Amino acid sequence: MKFSELGLSEKVLNAVEASGYDTPTPIQAQAIPHALQGRDILGIAQTGTGKTAAFTLPMIDRLVAGRSKARMPRSLVIEPTRELADQVALAFERYSKGQKLTWALLIGGVSFGDQEAKLDRGVDVLIATPGRLLDHFERGKLLIDHHAQRRQVGQFDPKSTEKHQQPATTDSGASVEEQVRKEWNPKTDGGLPVF
């Protein structure tokens, strides 16, 4: 299988080819077509297997096809470490060449001023570590669209001291974990659970 068989746009395919790739890894081949359709995916794969490209490539295509909102982020990527957040930002830089997409990398150890300047100009994608994301919320630089937020991840309050928030739910109302347990068995199904 080739990347050209996955349904990606020509501009994204050109960026993938310019990066020296033509054959997707198993997680990319399984995840990208479903992600392009807007489906939820839970993917597990070893380090170095291309998980970052598996979600950034279809995300770029979906963002380019959609309408940007004045100075409002349309996508949020939260990574647990600076290194992983930086890896995602580099993937966006590499694969969105020639596209009119902007992003901001919000990580600690970097000037708030530079990050705030990007936020003030407006970005399509926020890539952040949890701590720096909360810092920007507390400074009043980021706001949550509570209607969209409730549809996506339940009641998220960045100032909450609770350790457990409501789980994300599927269209049927089941939690993501319940849906995965119900529909996918790694021993018999293999591949990625898609719902």
Q: What is the pLDDT of residue 147?
A: 47
Q: What is the pLDDT of residue 191?
A: 52
* Residue boundaries of the structural domains of the chain: 52-180
Tokens of 100: 């009119």
Name the band, by pLDDT with cuts 50, 70 and 90, for residue 188: low
Name the band, by pLDDT with cuts 50, 70 and 90, for residue 153: very low
Q: What is the pLDDT of residue 54?
A: 93
For the 52-180 domain, the top CATH level (class) is alpha beta
For 126, list phi and psi in degrees, rounded to 5.
Answer: -105, 130
Q: What is the pLDDT of residue 160?
A: 41
157-187, pLDDT tens digit by residue?
A: 444 433 333 334 444 555 555 555 555 555 5
105-151, pLDDT tens digit by residue?
A: 999 998 899 999 998 888 899 999 999 999 998 888 776 554 444 43
Q: What is the pLDDT of residue 21?
A: 94
Tokens of 126: 């926020």
Q: Between 195 and 70, name the one with better pLDDT.
A: 70
16-63, pLDDT tens digit by residue?
A: 999 999 999 999 999 999 999 988 888 888 888 999 999 999 999 999
3-class secondary structure for the chain?
CCHHHCCCCHHHHHHHHHCCCCCCCHHHHHHHHHHHCCCCECCCCCCCCCHHHHHHHHHHHHHHHCCCECCECCEEEECCCHHHHHHHHHHHHHHCCCCCCCEEEECCCCCHHHHHHHHHHCCCEEEECHHHHHHHHHCCCCCCCHHHHHHHHCCCCCCCCCCCCCCCECCCCCEHHHHHHHHCCCCCCCCCCEC
Q: Between 14 and 146, name the one with better pLDDT.
A: 14
Q: Between 36 and 155, name the one with better pLDDT.
A: 36
75-109, pLDDT tens digit by residue?
A: 899 999 999 999 999 999 999 988 888 999 999 99
Q: What is the pLDDT of residue 142?
A: 79
Q: What is the pLDDT of residue 72?
A: 78
Q: What is the DSSP pairing of strand 103-106 with strand 125-128?
A: parallel
